[in-house]
Structure 1
Amino acid sequence: MNTPLHTSYQYGAEVAQSRNRVLRNTYALLGLSMLPTVAGALVGVQTNFWMLFAGHPIMAPLLFLAGAFGFMWGIGRNRESALGVGLMLGFTFFMGLMLSISLAAALRFSNGGTLIALAAGGTGIIFSSLAALATITKKDFSFMGKFLFIGLILLVIASLANLFFAIPALALTISAIAVLIFSAYILYDVSQIVNGGETNYVMATLQLYLDIYNVFVNLLNLLMAFAGDRR
């Protein structure tokens, strides 16, 4: 005969198993998503994809926004099916292709390979540290959600404005703030999975992927500005 205490314990164990399963599936799909990202980046660099926008630089961010939001809409609509996983992998290939524009810019520096490696290493350290913090402590960081969302909206507005003004100092400020915001989002998003706020591993993967992608791109921008060697 199950007592209320036993039933409560059993329910708690099932909830913990479910959350752990979502976390495992998220990390598995996140790791898999890096393969099409790398493939897209290699294709973009090898084909000089960036040259398509050389005469019209504003077209690159417009294509990025249109493609990214289109894929994210499709992933959200199909998050419960295998199609959602397929769209996620297609999305990461597209993101890798767009990433090749930043990589090509970095490779024009004599130490471009080093800058890319540093940005990748820094992103890895940030992600692993914050993900471990959220997982081990199991602290609920959901209180950060509102502040992060407001910060993200302001960041997007500033980024769109700087497409037209092209102020170098503002671009660097935006990149520095973006690193902080998306690092905080890693903590928030992993906490959501650990504490049951996000139960779909496809959406959880999408959120973490965007966090990692944005941390990497903005770290690379900062490294190019402060450590790039054009000799």
Structure 2
Amino acid sequence: MINLQKTYDLSGSSANSMAVRHNVLRNTYWLLALSMIPTVLGAFAGVLMHVPVPRGFIGFIVFMAIAYGFIWGIEKNKNSGLGVGLLLGFTFFMGLMLTPLLTRTLGFSNGGSLIMLAFGGTAAVFATLASIATVSKRDFSAMGKWLFAGVIVMIVASLANIYFQMPALHIAISVMVIGIFSAYILYDVQQIVNGGETNYVSATLALYLDVYNIFTSLLSLLGLAGGERD
């Protein structure tokens, strides 16, 4: 009788845990979709009003300071509505930061097509890898430290290329970014599925950064390879 009761309790606890994980994943996907609205609005406003985005080392420092300020605030308030508001504000800011890339791309005669292709490609990558992370029995958690190391290398290479301005290095960095953040989708989604991440605001922030970085790098590569001038 005791054993049966223990089995029942464990089964109920497991079912409740699965329900919690499902809710976190569902809320994360909804908030991720919602976060695209201020991103598009920020990008539209930036291109329309020609918002000046600082470039070079100074621009990098300003961007990192503002971005990490937002990230700190989001994580600090992730259990309240303020965290959601800060997240949406952050995505608007990230949309503004797309201004130079979008302006350059729209300078091509096929710029609009390139943007849609990059968006579609990013969506396909996310859908495929998120599905794999959800159903796969393979443990992707060990990738975390290697991916973080890859991000550090990527940042150092990006800083170096601000000085060197080498097209080949730019291409290499873009390819590396796509690879790293595609792998991060596997890692981040599985963290939710396995219960390693239980807050949907933090989970959305992680996945948003994955998607954003893949999109910008893919669009940059498409512009280099397929941009057409009149």
1:36-91 per-residue CA deviation (whole Å, 9 max, x = no partner) reads 001000000100114x54xx554433332121111001101111111100000000
1:48 aligns with 2:50: yes
One-letter code of the match for 1:149? F
Q: How does 1:24-63 map to 2 (within 5 A)?
A: 24-50=26-52, 53=54, 57-63=56-62
Task: Please name the residue that 1:187 is paired with.
Answer: 186
One-letter code of the match for 1:24? R
User: Are the aligned partners of 1:40 and 1:97 in contact in 2 as well (CA < 8 Å)?
Assistant: yes
1:16 aligns with 2:18: yes
What is the DSSP-based 3-state SS (H/G/I as helix, E as strand, rest coil) of the residue aligned with 1:141? coil
Give the Cα separation in 2 of the matches to 1:58 and 1:109.
27
1:73 aligns with 2:72: yes
User: Are the aligned partners of 2:181 and 2:213 in contact in 1 as well (CA < 8 Å)?
Assistant: yes
User: Displacement of 1:168 after TM fit?
Assistant: 1.1
1:155-175 per-residue CA deviation (whole Å, 9 max, x = no partner) reads 111111111111111011000
Task: Please name the residue that 1:155 is paired with.
Answer: 154
User: Are the aligned partners of 2:38 and 2:92 in contact in 1 as well (CA < 8 Å)?
Assistant: yes
One-letter code of the match for 1:230? R
One-letter code of the match for 2:131? A
Q: How does 1:203-218 map to 2 (within 5 A)?
A: 203-218=202-217
Structure 2: where are the runs of 5+ without partners? none
What is the DSSP-based 3-state SS (H/G/I as helix, E as strand, rest coil) of the residue aligned with 1:142? coil
The TM-score normalised by the length of structure 1 is 0.95
Give the Cα separation in 2 of the matches to 1:58 and 1:98.
15
One-letter code of the match for 1:184? A
User: Are the aligned partners of 1:76 and 1:203 in contact in 2 as well (CA < 8 Å)?
Assistant: yes
What is the DSSP-based 3-state SS (H/G/I as helix, E as strand, rest coil) of the residue aligned with 1:199? coil
One-letter code of the match for 1:174? I
Task: Please name the residue that 1:200 is paired with.
Answer: 199
One-letter code of the match for 1:213? Y
Give the Cα separation in 1 of the matches to 2:216 and 2:17.
36
The TM-score normalised by the length of structure 2 is 0.95
User: Are the aligned partners of 2:129 and 2:186 in contact in 1 as well (CA < 8 Å)?
Assistant: yes
What is the DSSP-based 3-state SS (H/G/I as helix, E as strand, rest coil) of the residue aligned with 1:162? helix
What is the DSSP-based 3-state SS (H/G/I as helix, E as strand, rest coil) of the residue aligned with 2:40? helix
User: Are the aligned partners of 1:140 and 1:195 in contact in 2 as well (CA < 8 Å)?
Assistant: no
One-letter code of the match for 1:108? G
Give the Cα separation in 1 of the matches to 2:57 and 2:10.
57
Give the Cα separation in 2 of the matches to 1:226 and 1:196.
41
1:154-209 per-residue CA deviation (whole Å, 9 max, x = no partner) reads 11111111111111110110001100000000111001000011111100000000
What is the DSSP-based 3-state SS (H/G/I as helix, E as strand, rest coil) of the residue aligned with 1:122? helix
Give the Cα separation in 2 of the matches to 1:189 and 1:31.
16
User: Are the aligned partners of 1:78 and 1:84 in contact in 2 as well (CA < 8 Å)?
Assistant: yes
One-letter code of the match for 1:179? I
Give the Cα separation in 1 of the matches to 2:123 and 2:146.
24
